[in-house]
Structure 1
Amino acid sequence: MPASLAGRYWLLHPVWGDRYGMTHIAAGPDGTPASVRVLSPDPPAVRRADVDLLTGLRHPNLATVRDVLVDGRVAIAADAVLGRTLRRARLTADELPRVAADVAAALAALHARGVCHGTIGPSTVMVDRDGGAVLADVAVGHLLRLPTAPADDHQALADLLAAVWRNTHGRWRRPPAALRDVWADTMARARDMG
């Protein structure tokens, strides 16, 4: 029998984990699939204002946070994103600029609400069936109060894009102009934010 969280989400199987916790595929209250991130033991206390802020974030390139559960442990329930992570994706020169632009737009939406991601990496960027990108784990850094600024998110995105490009196309091949434009824009935003 699957483990239950707050009697509303049933953890079906783990997908991946890191030092912040384990992500599971789960069934939500209405049976729809969800992604549930169970944070590592002893996270900081969860404030109601944080829950309201995080569950109110809406953007097409953000995995929507459905709920923050406190049931002996802290867990973040979000919409499940169908697709593959950048850890598994091999992107073409045409696909990578779109992914970069989608994640940059998601970050802009987060930062406009005063939220920093703090944990951008190849497992937090999902590429959907249409080739667009969705940023997952949007609440982890905020709830854990990681010392992150918008400039740190932009630098992490630039580093991630460079790594994906090198892994897919080789170290010495020059990125396409569209991707260089997204990198330049991302780094300019980081410089403007200090």
Structure 2
Amino acid sequence: MLTGFATPRYIFTSPAAHLTSTRMTTPANMPFNVAALGYAGLLPPALLLILDKLLFGNHPPILSAFVPVYAALVFSFLGGCWWTFALREDKPSTTLLVMGVLPTILCFGLIWAAYVLGPVPATLILASLIALSPLADALLNIPSLVPQWWIRLRFHLSMGLAALTALSVYRAL
């Protein structure tokens, strides 16, 4: 080993082990950085809703219209998580692979639904899909693939995003 050079702490362990250090954890043993970044994901739609009300008052919603777009991106990201879970196996589960692409396909279909039904019903359908997504985790046996705190985080984030997405149509009514 070279002397006189600064060696990163994680040189002998994986960088992931360094990043998920147990020194800073939430009460449920969730790594602090995971909790902070996960819950921070609810800030963009919350801020859009607040700023829309503060800046535009009772005028038609402007910024709130971006909340469903953000929600659709997050929902598609969830599909990527399911896809990744499937690829952990030598023989990937067809069900997980299908579920991995389904959120993106559904979001694409909601563009058509927004055109045919209008943006309010399409946004409420998206909010419902997000709220129901933790049930898919249970049906897909995801809890056996992830730490226990992941399921709790998924539930909180899904309910939060679903509520913010549904709230985004309030001013459009």
- TM-score by length of structure 1 reads 0.29
Give 1 or 2 for the bigger CA radius of gyration: 2
- TM-score by length of structure 2 reads 0.32
Higher relative contact order, chain-length normalized (CA < 8 Å, sep 6+): 2
Indicate the structure with greater helix content: 2
Indicate the structure with greater strand content: 1
